[in-house]
Amino acid sequence: MILFYNPVSSASKKPVLPMSLLAIGAMLEGVEEYRIIDGNLVPDGLTALREALVETKADILCVTVMPGPQLSNASPICRALKAEFPQVTILWGGYFPTLHGQIVMQEAYVDYVFRGHCELAFGEFVAKVRAGEDVTGLPGLGWRDAEGKVHLNQKPPVPDINALPDFPYHRVDMDAYVRSSFLGSRTIAHHASYGCPFQCNFCAVVHKVNGRYSAQTAERTAAVVEKLVREHGATAVEFYDSNFFVHEARCAEFAERITHLDIGWWGFGRADTMLKFSDATWAKMRKSGLKMVFMGAESGDLETLKRMNKGGKQDGNAILAVAEKMRRHDVVPEMSFIIGNPPDPAKDAENTIQFIRMLKKVNPATEIVFYIYSPVPVEGAMLQEAQAAGFEYPKDVATWTEAKWEKFAQHLSSNLPWMNDDIRRKIGNFQRVLHARYPTMTDTRLTRTGRFALRTMAAWRYKTQFYDFPIELRLLDKVFPYQRPEIQGF
């Protein structure tokens, strides 16, 4: 028996379908017995895992780990379980061990890590471990030799997603992951592609896949969506792909295939790529239920985008043009900005604020998401500038689980060497005024009265660009709390 654990992913324990574990589980169907335990759905993850280990006599525990809340949850649990069940092999996979495998393998309670995609190697790993055979040659595996030296094997390539089986939804309680959102009353998540063909140096996906990309065909993606509608009552689908809208022909065909389902849907894309989509394709996607597209605008400044290695033909003009195009097709742009970047965070913050104001004139419906730059271990100008300012990564898991690094992992920390209090206040005050003047459409709990109050109170500040001391908006926020998509989703 194999146990899979999805650690607590947020303070609210909001359940998010554990697709990484379902992807591995799909390769084990009919071969191995396994069980998925979601820390977001049980009162206490340690108790649930302890009871499952005793009941099932499982010999392998696999944990998917993101930095932030998941790491803070997984680390003490695995330490306790290793002490109590030393015979159990504990394996970590996912974002954090992929980027920081050396640090993870310093922890005695973790026996192995898998970096990158391990769908194809995992079954062989299980068979070899149980047979007492050598596993050290498996792609993506992190392991320790007899002297305790850590070895990190080269990551495997991104697998052909069309050669992999569908997710075994019967292994989880799907109703626990269905939720109401602005997209529809029963919103379910799906992953229809792996990787991204671009290599932005602020994005951890680059470290995982190195520019490789594999997408389900339009036919297969539509078939999965239809299954979610038919078997699980989905009225909307969120695509968590790193870049769903890479190929226009695929997107157009997919839209045609799902139009009859009458659902809402949302996904990630790039401004420059989607600007090239024809009006006919945009019309098909809107008719099929596309309501919003998340785009990493990052910055309106061309030099900043170059330092980010954003690639393609994205610049301020492309961002403004696609926002206008989406206005005409009644699809909401949700654009993220990385603000306060080194080497001159004050100038970067001011330029970003002015560009956002310009963007709001072009398309007032544009949703704005703010992130503070959190360096990832991808070589490039951004990381070099951060390191020049004095930035260093933690040297052990214990430090990574500290509150300030948990915020860092969620792109919420402004406690960075190149930031100061004046810049932090400027960004925070503008964000508060902007989000009051333009409340997010994704917050279905905010009443019409609340929206009117927020817009009215913030209007003069936004018009005059006076963002300092927004005390009245802080008080109003207690009456009509603002839902932050970058933290809470929608």
Q: List pLDDT tens digits, range 473-483.
A: 999 988 888 66
Q: What percent of the chain has pLDDT over 90?
A: 78
The encoded tokens of residue 2 equal: 């194999």
Alpha helix (H) residue ranges in 345-442: 345-362, 381-388, 397-400, 403-409, 421-437
The encoded tokens of residue 32 equal: 């191995």
The contacts of residue 379 (CB under 8 Å, 6+ apart) are 201
Q: What is the mean pLDDT of residues 251-266?
A: 98
* Predicted pLDDT of residue 486: 58
Q: List pLDDT tens digits, range 338-376.
A: 998 888 999 999 999 999 999 999 999 999 999 888 888
| pLDDT tier, 484 (very low <50, low <70, confident <90, very high otherwise) | low
pLDDT at 487 over 60: no
pLDDT at 205 over 80: no
Of the two residues 445 and 18, the one the predictor is more confident about is 18
Q: What is the mean pLDDT of residues 102-119?
A: 96
pLDDT at 36 over 70: yes
pLDDT at 94 over 60: yes
C-alpha torsion sign, points 341, 346, 350, 353: positive
β-partners of residue 293 are: 267, 333
Q: Which helix (H) or strand (E) holds 18?
A: none
* Predicted pLDDT of residue 383: 85
Burial of residue 428, with CB atoms counted within 10 A of its CB: 0-12 exposed, 13-18 middle, 19 or more buried: middle
Strands 213-215 and 193-195: antiparallel
* Predicted pLDDT of residue 485: 59
Side-by-side strand order, sheet with 332-339: 179-181, 184-190, 236-239, 264-269, 290-298, 332-339, 367-372
Residues 431/433/435/438 CA torsion (nearest 10 deg):
-140
Of 69, 45, 7, 76, whose CA–CA distance to 487 is shortest? 69
What's the angle, vertex CA 371, arms to CA 365 and CA 372, rounded to 5? 150
**Tokens 């169907």 belong to which residue?**
29
Q: At what angle do helices 316-328 and 345-362 cross, to 10 degrees?
A: 30
Residues 179/182/187/191 CA torsion (nearest 10 deg):
-120
| pLDDT tier, 115 (very low <50, low <70, confident <90, very high otherwise) | very high
Of 310, 484, 469, 333, whose CA–CA distance to 412 is shortest? 484
Distance separating alpha carbons of residues 200 and 306, to the nearest angstrom: 9
Distance separating alpha carbons of residues 151 and 140, to the nearest angstrom: 10
Distance separating alpha carbons of residues 178 and 57, to the nearest angstrom: 31
Distance separating alpha carbons of residues 38 and 4, to the nearest angstrom: 8
From-to residues of CATH 3.20.20.70 in the chain: 178-388
Work out the mean pLDDT of the chain and round it to a whole number: 93
* Predicted pLDDT of residue 453: 94
The encoded tokens of residue 339 equal: 């603000």
Q: What is the mean pLDDT of residues 74-81?
A: 98
Of 20, 352, 56, 291, whose CA–CA distance to 172 is shortest? 20
Omega within 30 of 0 (cis) for the link into 439: no
pLDDT at 124 over 80: yes
Task: Please state, in angstroms and as integers, the Cα–Cα distance from residue 76 to each residue in 1, 4, 66, 90, 299, following that order.
Answer: 23, 16, 15, 13, 38
Q: List pLDDT tens digits, range 369-400.
A: 998 888 888 777 888 888 998 999 999 999 99
Which listed CATH number (3.30.70.380, 3.40.50.300, 3.10.129.10, 3.20.20.70) goes with 178-388? 3.20.20.70
Task: Please state, in angstroms and as integers, the Cα–Cα distance from residue 111 to each residue in 78, 182, 427, following that order.
Answer: 11, 43, 43
Give the range among 173-182, 192-201, 282-291, 399-408 with minimum mean pLDDT: 192-201
Give the range among 87-101, 174-188, 382-396 with minimum mean pLDDT: 382-396
Give the range among 133-142, 196-205, 304-313, 365-374 with minimum mean pLDDT: 196-205
2-152 architecture in CATH?
Answer: 3-Layer(aba) Sandwich (3.40)
Alpha helix (H) residue ranges in 294-334: 302-307, 316-328
* Predicted pLDDT of residue 327: 98
* Predicted pLDDT of residue 304: 86
Q: What is the mean pLDDT of residues 127-143?
A: 94
pLDDT at 426 over 90: yes
* Predicted pLDDT of residue 199: 73
* Predicted pLDDT of residue 155: 93
* Predicted pLDDT of residue 1: 95
pLDDT at 418 over 70: yes
Of the two residues 379 and 162, the one the predictor is more confident about is 162
Q: What is the pTM of this model?
A: 0.92
What is the DSSP code (8-state) at residue 178? Answer: -
Distance of CA 14 to the CA centre of its chain: 14
The encoded tokens of residue 7 equal: 């650690």
The encoded tokens of residue 153 equal: 């094997």
From-to residues of CATH 3.40.50.2300 in the chain: 2-152
